[in-house]
């Protein structure tokens, strides 16, 4: 039976068609031994291997054999049952990954935008529960500054003088601070700050416009606005709270063919990116 190219399995009433090489990813597993006729648990009936186990959970096992990665639906909860099935089939690398349930579950991210409008300047502070998300957002936002003359803060275009990019203030890994608008310096001269948010190429100086673009960017990135409140009426500080469910990075294994091992495969965990 080991020379089969296509194998059909009936697991718990569900039919699966796959390549023999897929089932042989882990030569020591019971699925690989099944092809050699070495495991009596698997009955060959009318050309199909009959297995009296959970067919729905076996679909995740087949996905793992095909991709060598654990990727489960956001609402999945049967981690212990799936781990037990992996152990039944002798897929211990999969069982090991499933034991790290905390890395496989989706995480809820919270992000907060605070907006303050003071005369001709607007101040922004963004806080996020995931530092990676905040870092990515910081790479999208650029503040430009330059000396201006005889313009109001609502001017749609900067002067022809070159604008200088400014680094964002990063009080911690989880937040950032920036501002836009104008501030008088001397005579009719004033300092103007423009904000650009990728992939939009505009340089905006009006705080309300920057706020609108920022909120739209977050919504397009999968965040959901859950509340809006006024934090301080005296300082005119508004707070916008967002949340999104972030899927975890899939846990995976690599299978190495060791020289001189006669096809014996070794499984090892690849580096896993942990949410911060």
Answer with the residue of higher pLDDT: 231 or 234.
231
Task: Residue 89: name the closest of 157, 149, 27 by CA.
Answer: 27
Peptide bond into 217 cis (omega under 30): no
Other C-beta atoms lying within 10 Å of the C-beta of residue 197: 18
Residue 276 has what pLDDT? 38
Cα 89 from Cα 87, distance rounded (Å): 5
Answer with the residue of higher pLDDT: 133 or 151.
133
Mean pLDDT of 224-231: 93
Other C-beta atoms lying within 10 Å of the C-beta of residue 35: 18
Mean pLDDT of 86-95: 95
Residue 275 has what pLDDT? 38
Residue 164 pLDDT > 80: yes
Mean pLDDT of 170-177: 95
| Most confidently modeled range among 39-53, 85-99, 179-193, 240-254 | 85-99
Residue 188 has what pLDDT? 64
How far is it between the farthest Cα atoms of the chain? 93
Cα 94 from Cα 257, distance rounded (Å): 18
Answer with the residue of higher pLDDT: 37 or 229.
229
Residue 219 pLDDT > 70: yes
Q: What is the mean pLDDT of the chain?
A: 84
Write down all domains in the chain, each with its CATH number in brackets: 6-103 (3.30.710.10), 108-150+158-246 (3.30.1410.10)
Mean pLDDT of 89-102: 91
Cα 210 from Cα 229, distance rounded (Å): 18
Q: Which two tokens stand for residue 173?
A: 């890994």
Mean pLDDT of 96-116: 89
Residue 44 has what pLDDT? 87
| SS3 sequence of the chain | CCCCCEEEEEECCEEEEEEHHHHCCCCCCHHHHHHCCCCCCCEEECCEEEECCCHHHHHHHHHHHHHCEECCCCCCCCHHHHHHHHHHCCCHHHHHHHCCHHHHCCEEEEEEEEEEEECCEEEEEEEECCHHHHHHHHHHEEEEEEEEECCCCCCCCCCCCCCEEECCEEEECCEEEEEEEEEEEECCEEEEEEEEECCCCCCECCHHHHHHHHHHHHHHCCCEEEEEEEEECCCCEEEEEEEEEECCCCEEEEEEECCCCCCCEEEEECCCCCCC
Residue 121 has what pLDDT? 92
Q: How far apart are the first and last CA of the chain?
A: 48
Mean pLDDT of 214-227: 96
Report the percent of the chain where pLDDT is more than 90. 58
Q: Which residue has the tokens 């009080």?
A: 171
Report the percent of the chain where pLDDT is more than 70. 82
pLDDT in tens, 236-276: 899 999 999 877 666 778 765 443 333 333 334 443 333 33
Mean pLDDT of 179-187: 77
Cα 228 from Cα 69, distance rounded (Å): 39
Q: Which two tokens stand for residue 140?
A: 């999208």
Residue 236 has what pLDDT? 83
Residue 218 pLDDT > 90: yes
Cα 161 from Cα 167, distance rounded (Å): 19
Answer with the residue of higher pLDDT: 165 or 1.
165
Residue 270 has what pLDDT? 41
Residue 190 has what pLDDT? 79
Task: Residue 70: name the closest of 267, 206, 225 by CA.
Answer: 267
């Amino acid at each position: 039976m080991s020379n089969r190219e296509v194998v059909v399995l009936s697991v718990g009433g569900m039919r699966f068609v796959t390549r023999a090489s897929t089932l042989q990813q882990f030569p020591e597993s019971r699925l690989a031994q099944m092809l050699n006729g070495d495991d009596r648990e698997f009955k060959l009936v009318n050309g199909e291997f009959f297995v009296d186990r959970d067919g729905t959970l076996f679909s995740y096992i087949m996905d793992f054999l095909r991709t060598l990665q654990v990727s489960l639906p956001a609402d999945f909860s049967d981690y212990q049952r799936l781990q037990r099935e992996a152990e039944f089939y002798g897929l211990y690398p999969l069982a090991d990954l499933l034991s790290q349930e905390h890395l496989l579950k989706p995480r809820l991210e919270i992000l907060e935008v605070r907006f303050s409008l003071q005369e001709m300047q607007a101040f922004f502070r963004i806080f996020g529960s995931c530092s990676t998300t905040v870092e990515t957002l910081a790479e999208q936002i650029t503040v430009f500054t330059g000396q201006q003359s005889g313009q109001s803060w609502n001017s749609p275009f900067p002067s022809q003088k070159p604008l200088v990019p400014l680094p964002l203030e990063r009080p911690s890994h989880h937040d950032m601070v920036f501002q836009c608008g104008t501030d008088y310096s001397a005579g009719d001269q004033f300092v103007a700050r423009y904000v650009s948010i990728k992939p939009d190429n505009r340089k905006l100086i009006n705080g309300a416009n920057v706020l609108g673009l920022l909120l739209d960017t977050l919504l397009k990135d999968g965040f959901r606005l859950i509340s809006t409140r006024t934090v301080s009426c005296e300082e005119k500080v508004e707070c916008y709270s967002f949340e999104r469910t972030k899927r975890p990075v899939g846990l995976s294994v690599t299978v190495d063919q060791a020289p001189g091992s006669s096809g014996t495969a070794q499984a090892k965990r690849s580096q896993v990116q942990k949410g911060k």
